[in-house]
Amino acid sequence: MLTDAELTVLGLVVERPRHGYELDEVVSERGMRDWTALGFSSIYYVLGKLRDRGLVAEVERDRAHAKAKKTYTATEAGRKACAEAAEAAIAELRPAHQPVLVGLANSPAITPERLAAALAQRAEAVVERLAEVRRAAAAQAGAPPFVRAIFDYSITQLEAEAAWLEGMT
């Protein structure tokens, strides 16, 4: 089983051979940090784990980036593992543990005024985040369909939460 971070990195290397700095750039450009716990420092750690499991291999290439030291490509086992994990991630409904649900479960402990203020604050944050994701999506207008699907999914979820919050106030 691959972690979300492992599947994200592996998938990017399956797309084409990449070095760590390029992986970081793509993760940033596509807004992947918003839904994965994948910081720059963990990219090389994840690549090492994938290499040790035989899912990626180092390849000799010209240095595409001045700081790049190693370029990685997916092995046949890596392509297979990526496809299987991606299919499972799409097909299986997994529980998402949202802190807002814990807060709502304990909302009787909050005064009605403070609850209303917290919901209003969340609504503001959702509107701001929705604008950010829409801007990022617009910047990726020529991206492949699967990248567009990620943005569309995120936008739809944020719109649904915004609508829910409107009903709560």
pLDDT digits (tens, 9 = 90+) for 15-58: 999 988 899 999 988 888 877 878 888 999 999 999 999 999 99
At 105-138, the pLDDT tens digits run: 999 999 999 999 999 999 999 999 999 999 989 9
Among residues 63, 91, 119, the one where a domain terminates is 91
The pLDDT value given to residue 65: 59
Q: Which domain holds residue 151?
A: 99-168
Backbone angles phi, psi at 62, to 5 degrees: -65, 145
Among residues 68, 91, 114, the one where a domain terminates is 91
Of 85 and 29, which is predicted with more confidence? 85
The tokens of 75 are what?
Answer: 């092995």
* 62 and 126 part of one domain: no
Range of lowest pLDDT (92-96, 121-125, 156-160): 92-96
* 68 and 23 part of one domain: yes
* 105 and 84 part of one domain: no
Asked whether the beta carbons of 48 and 54 are under 8 A apart, the reply is: no
Q: What is the CATH number of the domain that holds 28?
A: 1.10.10.10
Among residues 91, 109, 130, the one where a domain terminates is 91
Q: 160 exposed, middle or buried (CB, 10 Å; 0-12, 13-18, 19+)? A: exposed
| Number of structural domains found in the chain | 2
* 84 and 111 part of one domain: no
Backbone angles phi, psi at 120, to 5 degrees: -65, -40
